[in-house]
Amino acid sequence: MLMEKLLMISGYATSVIILLIVIFLFKEGAGLFTSPDVEEGYVLAVNKENPVGRLSPNEILKVFDAEIVNWKDVGGTNEDILVFRLSDLTNYVSEEELGADLEYIPQCLSKVVAEHPGIIAYFPEQYVAGDFAGKILDKGRITPAQFFVGKQWYPTSQPSPLYGVLPLLLGTLWVSLGAILIALPFGLAVAIYLAELADERLRKVLKPVIELLAGIPSVVYGFFGLIVIVPVIQKTFSLPVGETGLAGSVILAVMALPTIITVAEDAIRSTPRAMKESSLALGATHWQTIRRVVIPYSISGITAAAVLGIGRAIGETMAVLMVTGNAAVMPTTLLEPVRTIPATIAAELGEAPAGGTHYEALFLLGCILFLLTLVISITVEMMTSGKRKQTM
């Protein structure tokens, strides 16, 4: 009785902890959509005569990268854009005007903005004078559309970081799908062989060896992929670099194989002996029995193996980070460098200031990863339930 209560308490406690983790994850990530487009603590200012009142993050990036050089391209007048940063101030005013302790920086900034019609000035908010002679552009807000549909991930871009998750999401799906397409057929074939065809002595040797592969650290797989798989892919496909989505898929497939094989093999071996003997007694061959009796009966366990394999592929970090090129660009094929969501979180979380927009965006990536895994699990379970009903 006591043991039963302890198990019940343990189950409730685990459920509550998981729920609190999920709530914390979403709470930290949701703050991104209340943050301004312009970097926190900074402003963008233009001349008072400039009709432009707001620029989108993409327009800001193009203006400061000199891809947009005239105000008419962003809804303004036919005036060349003059990009100004605080470090440029000494090019416009003398040291005497700034003051001995730089106390006149706000007044000097106001003067420079007022004297140049085409200027766009980027400087800390603390230097905005009370009688500022320019116009502060509307900072706007980061919207869900910018985040979920955006195609550029530049979290450290100044003055306006870009958080477009689409290349990271597609990179994750491409690599994970490629890994499962490789691992699932091989894993299922090995599981069937171990459960139904291999003799007992061979099975006792192979099973522990396969299970041992699951305990190898992911960084070791990453090193193996970097030294062996990456050069092979580069030479085979005549690519400039071998760090591609395909390399990530191959490594993840190798890492997912032990899980898929072990779980699927246990599920296949759980098929009642009487069912298999009945099939054989009715004249079915061994292969027909496997295909028509064993696999349908153990489909639930095989599905669990597939889900666990997908989960391993989607959530893997270090090995993928080492072999995929880590490039946050829109992928078109598996033969290009990609970046996945887990790799992005691992690479950038240590450098993201706590509570900042970059920090919140990474937590939101974690939310997407959680939902992605949840959707895949529910979808596979629904498909399996339908197959079970058809079989019955």
Options 3.30.910.20, 3.30.70.870, 3.40.50.1860, 1.10.3720.10; CATH of 166-391: 1.10.3720.10
Average pLDDT over every residue of 140-165: 90
Q: What is the tens place of the pLDDT at every residue in 311-342?
A: 777 878 888 888 998 888 888 888 999 999 99
- In terms of average pLDDT, the best of 179-193, 199-213, 289-303 is 179-193
> pLDDT at position 52, please?
92
Domain positions in the chain are 42-140, 166-391
> pLDDT at position 385, please?
63
**Sign, CA torsion 42/48/50/51:** positive
Average pLDDT over every residue of 124-141: 91
Average pLDDT over every residue of 289-311: 84
Looking at the structure, give the CATH architecture of the domain made up of residues 42-140.
Answer: 3-Layer(aba) Sandwich (3.40)
Q: What is the tens place of the pLDDT at every residue in 205-244?
A: 888 888 888 888 888 999 999 999 999 999 999 999 899 9
> pLDDT at position 40, please?
86
Average pLDDT over every residue of 5-14: 84
**Sign, CA torsion 273/274/275/276:** positive
The Cα 248–Cα 222 span in angstroms is: 9
> pLDDT at position 78, please?
92
> pLDDT at position 302, please?
84
- pLDDT higher than 90, residue 277: no
The reported pTM is 0.85
- In terms of average pLDDT, the best of 111-125, 206-220, 378-392 is 111-125
